[in-house]
Structure 1
Amino acid sequence: MNEQQKTELEAAAFRRLLDHLDNNKQVQNIELMLLADFCRNCLSKWYLAAAEERNILLTDEEAREAIYKMPYSEWKKNHQLPATEEQLAAFNAKSAAKKKQ
């Protein structure tokens, strides 16, 4: 496999990940953070960082829209539920443990 083919496969896998997340909007970002240590917001930050590394002008909102497939404010309004006390406690405990490392 050459570098171009590798890049094409990686891009296809990334698009499939975004489609999977889009088709599973019921999975909340905090749940992703607790289970996988990343979420849709992380992906948008990584996307933005990749653009910046390549001197591609992109705003935070544009990066989020690329990941969420809609404006973030719309996704948040229509799909984001308030975090439960249990989720927040688990997230805070995980964050505190990471800081100790």
Structure 2
Amino acid sequence: MSDLETELEAAAFRRLLEHLRTRTDVQNIDLMITGGFCRNCLADWYREAAAARGIELGKDAARERIYGEPFAEWKAKHQPEATPEQLAAFAAAQRRHA
């Protein structure tokens, strides 16, 4: 992979993070239902990429990088309890992709 490709991918990733930070109306469960990943998945992938390079990064630090603030604060402000409909849709999505 060229340096240019890496730079473009990094820019696209930063844009995705900014988009997700402004779209607080889109819940993680909705992302999981439709896309099969959520903000927490991105944090896990970020942490795994760091680990692959010998960098130790805790779960909370990785989530803060993705959410733009401590996860507990983001959750308190933006994440209501999942509705029964969301939970049912999530279960159905899990069955389809298992």
**What are the superposed Cα offsets for residues 16-65 of structure 1, whole Å, 9 maximum, x if unpaired?**
00000011111100011111111101100000110111111210100000
CA distance in 2 between partners of 1:93 and 1:20 (Å): 27
Letter in 2 for 1:71: P
Unaligned runs of 5+ in 1: none
CA distance in 1 between partners of 2:88 and 2:26 (Å): 18
Large movers: runs of 4+ above 4 Å: none
Q: Could you tell me the TM-score, scaled by structure 2's length?
A: 0.95
Unaligned runs of 5+ in 2: none
Question: Which residue in the other structure is 1:41 paired with?
Answer: 40
Q: Root-mean-square deviation (CA), in Å?
A: 1.1
Letter in 2 for 1:72: F
CA distance in 2 between partners of 1:32 and 1:93 (Å): 14
Question: Which residue in the other structure is 2:59 paired with?
Answer: 60
CA distance in 2 between partners of 1:60 and 1:77 (Å): 18
Letter in 2 for 1:23: T
